[in-house]
Structures are given as C-alpha cells and as structure tokens.
Amino acid sequence: MYRRLRLCSNRGGYEAIAEPPNPLDLPSVRSRLEAEAIPVVDARVILIVSLEAEVTISRAGRLLFKTQDARVAERTFERLRVLLGLPPMERERGSELAEG
C-alpha cells in the first residue's frame, strides 16, 4: 500500500512510497504504458512517464510527480494505479495530503 502522497522536501513535486516496498518490473511497466499510447522515456534504472503530471518511476516502486498541485498528483497517481495494478493510497485522517 502506498501510505501517503507527500510534498517533496524541495517542494518541487510530490512523492509516493510504497510500504512495504513494492518493487516494479520496469520493462513490464513500460510495455503496459506504451500499449496505452502513453509516452515513456526509459532511462534504464527509472522510467519517466508523460501524464497529466510527469512521473518518475523507480524499480523500488517510488513515484515522483513533477507538479506542485496536490490534486494533479492525486489524479496522476490514481491513473497509474489503475493502469499498472498498483496498491491503493491510504487516506490520512484530517487531510488529503501530508507535507514532509
């Protein structure tokens, strides 16, 4: 499960980290996204995906959303979750997103 979507320390975007870790098979992820006509740059150890927000996907399952808009990050996460069968995001009580 992805515990939360949180603002990165440099405030340049949001990140989602799976707990426990959710390793991803990047070639498989790339194939699924390209089958949906979603542009993907394969940098071997990460994928850079062009959705509503640009997303960097690591082999460890960490997702970085290049946007300062929390709602855009949430929508982009949800789209990836559905496309890739990722675990859901746990909702925090009292707020939609956490700042880290």
Domain boundaries, the chain: 2-89
Four-point Cα dihedral 7, 37, 41, 33, nearest 10: 60
The pLDDT value given to residue 68: 93
The pLDDT value given to residue 92: 58
The pLDDT value given to residue 76: 96
Regions of the chain with pLDDT less than 70: 91-100
| Helix axes of 26-35 and 70-84: crossing angle, nearest 10 degrees | 100
- Burial (CB < 10 A; 0-12, 13-18, 19+), residue 49, is buried
- Please name the amino acid found at residue 70: A
The pLDDT value given to residue 98: 47
- Burial (CB < 10 A; 0-12, 13-18, 19+), residue 88, is exposed
Residues 6+ apart with CB under 8 A from 31: none
**Residue pLDDT, tens place only, 10-29:** 888 999 988 888 899 999 99
The pLDDT value given to residue 95: 44
Q: Do residues 98 and 43 lie in contact, with contact meaning Cβ atoms separated by under 8 Å?
A: no
> What CATH number matches the domain at 2-89, 3.30.310, 3.40.50, 2.60.40, 3.30.450?
3.30.310
